[in-house]
Homo-oligomer: A and B are copies of this chain.
Amino acid sequence: MSQEKQTEISALGEFGLIERLTKDFPLRNPQTVKGVGDDAAVLSFGGKEVLVTTDLLLEGIHFDLRYVPLKHLGYKSAIVNFSDVYAMNGTPRQITVSLGVSSRFTVEHIEELYAGIRLACEAYGVDLVGGDTSASVTGLVISITCLGEADKEDIVYRTGAKETDLICVSGDLGAAYMGLQLLERENRVAAQSGKDFTPDFAGKEYILERQLKPEARKDIVEELRKAGIHPTSMMDVSDGLSSELLHICRNSGVGCRVYEDRIPIDYQTACMAEELNMNLVTAAMNGGEDYELLFTVPLADKEKVEKLEGVKMIGYVTKPELGAALVSRDGVELPIKAQGWNAFTRSENDA
C-alpha cells in the first residue's frame, strides 16, 4: 500500500466515498439505463426493465449476534434488499446470497440464517438463484443482491420531485431505532447482572419487531398502483428520514418543508424515547432502518392519497432556494441535516 497522502475514510463518509470512487466510471452499455445513485440500478435487456440492488452486512457493524437471532438476521438481510426494489416501484424476483462464515459457526447455525432468508423469499415470492459461501477468518459476512423487474414507465427514481408536490411516508418512523436502543440496554444490564437476568420486553413488542423483523412495503406499492397514483419520486427509509429527504431534494433539485407534528410515530416508540430520555423527533428523523417508503406525489393527487391506509402526508416540495427544513410545532424552521446512520463514523465510535 502506497505511502503518499492518505485520507481517513471517515473524513468523506459513506456517500462521499462512493461518489469519489464511482465518478470515473463512464457507462458504456446501452443496456445500462441508470447506474449508481438510486435505490437500485436500472438495466434494459429488451424486455421488462431489470432492477439490481445489493447490500453488505457485516458482523460487529450492521448486526450483533448477542441480540439478533440468526433466523431474524436472515429475514432482515433479504427484506432490506426487497425494500430497495419496491422503492423503485418494481417487484423483487431473485436474490443471490454470499456468506463468509467463521469457524465458530456450524452448519445448523447457517441453516437457521437460511431459514430466515427462506421465509422472506416465501412471503415476497422471490427466488434464491445463486451465491457463494466461504470461510471467513473473522465473523459473519452477508452479501445479498436482489434483482427485480418493472415496466419502464412504472419506475420511480429519486429525481422527479417537483415544487408543490406532497411529501408522503408510509407507516411510522423511529421504532426500529428505539428497538435497537432497548436491545442494547437489556444487553448491558444482562452483562452486569450475570446469568439469571431475563429481559422484560412486555409492551415493547412492536419496537422490537421493527428492529428484528422489519417488512418491505410491498402493500404500499400495490395500494399506490390500485389508486392510480404514480409517485414523482420515491425512496425507502433505511438511513433515516433526514438523510432520505436530502437525497430526494438533491437529486430532484428542489427544497422541502416537513412538519414535525405530521411525522408518524408509534406509541411504543414515544414511550421508549421517554424512558430512555431521548429526543423523539431526532429518533424519528435520524434513526433509520424503518424500511418505510418516502415518496412525493403531485398536489392533484391529494384526495387519492388521503384515502390510502397507512400513508401520511408530512410536508411539501419547495423551490430549491428554500432548502430543506423541518417545521417545528411552534412554527420554527430547522434546517434538515444528514445525521443518518453512517457506518464509517459509527465504526470510529465503536472501535
Contacts and interface: CB of A to CB of B under 8 A. Distances in A.
Interface of A: 1-2, 4-9, 11-12, 14, 17-18, 20-22, 24-25, 27-29, 31-32, 34-36, 40-41, 43-50, 52-56, 58-62, 65, 70, 93-94, 96, 98-101, 103, 105-112, 114, 118, 121, 125-139, 141, 143, 145, 147, 149, 343-344, 346-348, 350-351
Contacts of A50: 43, 45, 50, 147
12 contacts: A1-B65, A24-B118, A28-B127, A44-B47, A54-B98, A54-B130, A55-B98, A61-B134, A100-B141, A137-B138, A137-B139, A143-B143
Nearest to A6: B106
B135 A61 contact: yes
Q: Which 9 A-B pairs have the closest CB atoms?
A: A46-B47, A135-B347, A47-B47, A143-B143, A138-B138, A41-B129, A134-B343, A56-B98, A7-B107
Q: Which of A107, A118, A125 has the most CB of B within 10 A?
A: A107
A127 B44 CA distance: 13
A186 B53 CA distance: 41
B58 A137 contact: yes
Contacts of A43: 50, 93-94, 129, 147
| Secondary structure call for the A interface | mixed
Contact of A108 (B7, B62, B136, B143): B7
B346 A135 contact: yes
Nearest to A101: B9
Nearest to A134: B343
